[in-house]
């Protein structure tokens, strides 16, 4: 069982200076990782990133985090895992073609922003599980229509499962190789 933890960040809107906003987000993400480690019975690490910003794993513990202005999230596991969280809000419509191929778009039931963020968080989570950035987006492909709860993708032809958390404002995704995911809100 994977325990993914979401933490809301109050009063962190654009009136807060950028550096302070980012500090709050990273603190909240570290708290989410601490809680995920506790729930999973895994050691609490120092959650360091390497010089390229990629999470450093230790003692066989893998982890992933994500943070946006009003929410942060973390998940800790003993197998590769990736997590992404996004605020559902209208974006540049050109992003549809950046994130998905015409064929992938035929797999999607709707062309609305919640559907877009389902696909976007799924792909970001799979990229993070593979410890690569957006430059590898084209290696990540949806293989079937996503459901409310999850999606199946491939990264360089290797299969990945994604489990979603969705609310009216937030979409979050955890990518894994086949596990149950419990979402916790703190
Ligand atoms: C890495 C990436 C997936 C992060 O996604 P994001 O939605 O911007 O930000 P999130 O909050 O969800 O995730 C950030 C966290 O991902 C983690 N991360 C960064 N690089 C990572 C990698 N290669 N693999 C796994 N996790 C990574 C870090 O923990 C980071 O947290 P930190 O900024 O507090 O150190 C993505 O932005 C990316 O590819 N960046 C590379 C630079 C790039 O291509 N930028 C394009 C615009 S110029």
71-77: strand order across its sheet: 62-68, 71-77, 2-8, 181-185
The CATH number of the domain holding residue 129 is 3.90.470.20
Mean pLDDT rounded to a whole number for the chain: 97
User: How remote is the CA of residue 57 from the centroid of ligand 1, in Å?
Assistant: 16
CA 29 – CA 6 distance, rounded (Å):
8
54 lines ligand 1 (CB under 6 A): yes
Entry pTM:
0.96
Chain centre distance of CA 149: 14
Structure confidence by residue, pLDDT tens digits, 102-122: 999 999 999 999 999 999 999
Ligand 1 centroid vs 185 CA: distance in angstroms?
A: 22
Answer yes or no: is the C-beta of 56 below 6 A from any ligand 1 atom.
no
Average pLDDT over residues 21-32: 97
E-state strands within the chain: 2-8, 62-68, 71-77, 82-87, 140-142, 150-155, 158-166, 170-176, 181-185
How many domains in the chain? 1
Q: What are the phi and psi torsion angles at 97 (to 5°)?
A: -75, -20
pLDDT for 13 beyond 90: no
pLDDT band at 14 (very low <50, low <70, confident <90, very high): confident
CA of 56 to the centre of ligand 1 (A): 13
**Owning domain of residue 25:** 2-185
| Maximal C-alpha separation, the chain | 44
Our answer on whether the CB atom of 136 is closer than 6 Å to any ligand 1 atom is no
């Amino acid at each position: 069982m994977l325990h993914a933890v979401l933490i809301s960040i109050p009063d962190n809107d654009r009136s807060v200076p950028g550096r302070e906003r980012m500090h709050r987000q990273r603190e909240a993400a570290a708290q989410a990782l601490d809680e995920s480690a506790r729930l999973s019975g895994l050691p609490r690490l120092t959650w360091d990133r390497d010089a390229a910003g990629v999470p450093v794993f230790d003692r066989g513990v893998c982890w992933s985090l994500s943070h946006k202005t009003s929410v942060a999230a973390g998940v800790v596991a003993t197998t590769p895992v990736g997590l992404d969280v996004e605020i559902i809000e209208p974006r540049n419509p050109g992003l549809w073609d950046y994130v998905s191929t015409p064929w992938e778009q035929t797999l999607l039931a709707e062309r609305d922003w919640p559907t877009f963020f389902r696909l976007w968080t799924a792909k970001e989570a799979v990229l993070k599980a593979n410890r690569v950035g957006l430059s590898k987006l084209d290696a990540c492909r949806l293989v079937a229509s996503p459901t409310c709860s999850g999606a199946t993708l491939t990264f360089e032809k290797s299969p990945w499962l994604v489990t979603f958390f969705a609310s009216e404002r937030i979409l979050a995704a955890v990518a894994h190789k086949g596990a149950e995911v419990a979402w916790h809100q703190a």
